Amino acid sequence: MPTGPVALHDLRFLDEGDRVVVGRTDCDSYGVFPPDGAALLRELAGGRPPQDAAAWYTDRYGEPVDIDEFLDTLRELSFVNTGDAGTAAPPRWQRLGAALFSPAAWVCYGALVAAAVAVCVADPRLVPARGHVFFTDYLLVVELTLLFGQLPFVVLHELFHLLAGRRLGLHSSMHLGHRLYFLVAETKLDGLVVVPRRQRYLPILAGVVADVLAACALTVVAWLSRHPDGTLPVAGRACLAIAFMCLLGVLAQLYFFLRTDVYHLVTTVLGCVDLHTTARQLLHNRLWRLLGRTDRLADETRWDPRDAAAARWYAPLYAAGYAAMLAVLVSVALPLAWRFLGTAVAAVTDPAVPAARFWDALLFLAASAGQLVLAAALAVRDRRRNRQH
């Protein structure tokens, strides 16, 4: 045991009543301590030698503490500064994050939303609608434009999350990945666990803010691109198509059966641990009881009390998420798919169609079939890997 003070890294403490979350935001290492353990850690962080800290703990709480084991835990969490690495630099783009969510910025964002609403009132053709997706008769152009045109706004969504975290001094990070053959961006905001609850809301909802602002900006650009006679050029119509897809992303936040941004907002407000799993198991338990299959019930004693209390009203929202997805499927996805397919088949089978439209439709059908085959192949591959492991 060290005889002098133990050098600790800069630690953040978040008191949540019956537990205290402590961690290093520079390397995303966090631990949950009971209040007395956090108090002992604060004494060590304040420069009290371990032996003195152990004596203080015994005097304060009336029971001894294994200070050696406690120090081993701190080393495992990388809380002890061994001098191997220097102090982490402040996160990059912290000032940019502060500017992006400053009062002046919010005034600009409000003006942009107001402008988008105004142009939609002035020209109802700009109001988001699924018909905007077909901004040209060439289906392959539509598909490629939607595929690649959305990518900058997917990245923008995650950048807003990242910068909202950097604004708080967190070393949030973003990386690109994929789901099946789709490119996705994901932001890591682990440091929010040691940030006061009210300060977490903005980083959680920053992506939705970005989606709304993107849709508004594209709508205003479409209005500005109008010809003197009021008609929209192809570029303007393409902006409306991408704006509609951005708003679909906002609507997807209501899929409560997924861990969406709105889900993380709810769990943060309620202080839950794993509301998603608890709500799912609660619904399954109700179903198994109705079917008389009590042998399939999940153990409810393992649920966190806060999760169990919230799940009783969140479970209906969890189920409603499927209804929301079904509504989008019926009202948007299937009609779009039917129009894409019907238009393509009609163009391929109509001898009077110009050659450019014929080849466009044929390539679109080939690309669509290729995507389905690729998705099926990847699903089979993943299933085989899971069986092997």
pLDDT for position 182: 53
Amino acid at 288: W
* CA distances (Å), origin 107, targets 102, 110, 126: 9, 5, 23
What's the rounded Cα separation, in Å, for the pair 136 and 147?
15
What's the rounded Cα separation, in Å, for the pair 200 and 193?
9
Nearest residue to 1 via CA among 60, 42, 53, 56: 53
Greater confidence, 27 or 285?
Answer: 285
What's the rounded Cα separation, in Å, for the pair 166 and 170?
5
- Using one digit for the tens of pLDDT, what is the confidence trace for 366-388? 988 887 787 778 778 777 877 77
Q: Above 80 in pLDDT, residue 2?
A: no
The encoded tokens of residue 153 equal: 């706004």
Residue 219 · residue 247 · CB < 8 Å: no
* Rounded (5°) CA angle 51-53-54: 65
Greater confidence, 379 or 116?
Answer: 116
* Rounded (5°) CA angle 263-267-191: 100
Q: Please state, as a whole number, how many other Cβ atoms lie within 10 Å of the Cβ of residue 82.
A: 9
Name 281's bridge partners: none
pLDDT for position 197: 87
Of 49-58, 68-77, 236-245, 253-262, the poorest mean pLDDT is in: 253-262
% pLDDT > 90, the chain: 58
Residue 287 · residue 318 · CB < 8 Å: no
What's the rounded Cα separation, in Å, for the pair 44 and 6?
7
What is the pLDDT confidence band of residue 181, given thresholds at 50, 70 and 90?
Answer: very low
Question: Where are the domains positioned within the chain?
Answer: 12-76, 94-254
**pTM of the predicted protein model:** 0.83
Helices (H), the chain: 35-45, 50-61, 67-76, 94-100, 103-122, 139-149, 151-166, 197-224, 234-251, 261-270, 275-290, 305-328, 334-349, 355-388
Q: What is the DSSP string of 115-181?
A: HHHHHHHH-GGGS--GGGG--SS-HHHHHHHHHHHSHHHHHHHHHHHHHHHHTTT---EEEEEEETT
What's the rounded Cα separation, in Å, for the pair 70 and 75?
9
Q: Above 80 in pLDDT, residue 49?
A: yes
What is the pLDDT confidence band of residue 1, given thresholds at 50, 70 and 90?
Answer: low
pLDDT for position 85: 56
% pLDDT > 70, the chain: 95
Q: Above 70 in pLDDT, residue 323?
A: yes
Q: Above 80 in pLDDT, residue 294?
A: yes
- Using one digit for the tens of pLDDT, what is the confidence trace for 4-27? 788 999 899 998 878 899 998 888
pLDDT for position 376: 78
- Per the prediction, the chain carries an average pLDDT of 89
Q: Above 80 in pLDDT, residue 3?
A: no
Give the strand pairing for 182-188 and 173-179.
antiparallel
Q: Above 60 in pLDDT, residue 180?
A: no
Residue 112 · residue 220 · CB < 8 Å: yes
Taking residues 112-138, what's their average pLDDT? 95
What's the rounded Cα separation, in Å, for the pair 220 and 217?
5
Name 296's bridge partners: none
Sign of CA dihedral 6, 10, 15, 16: negative
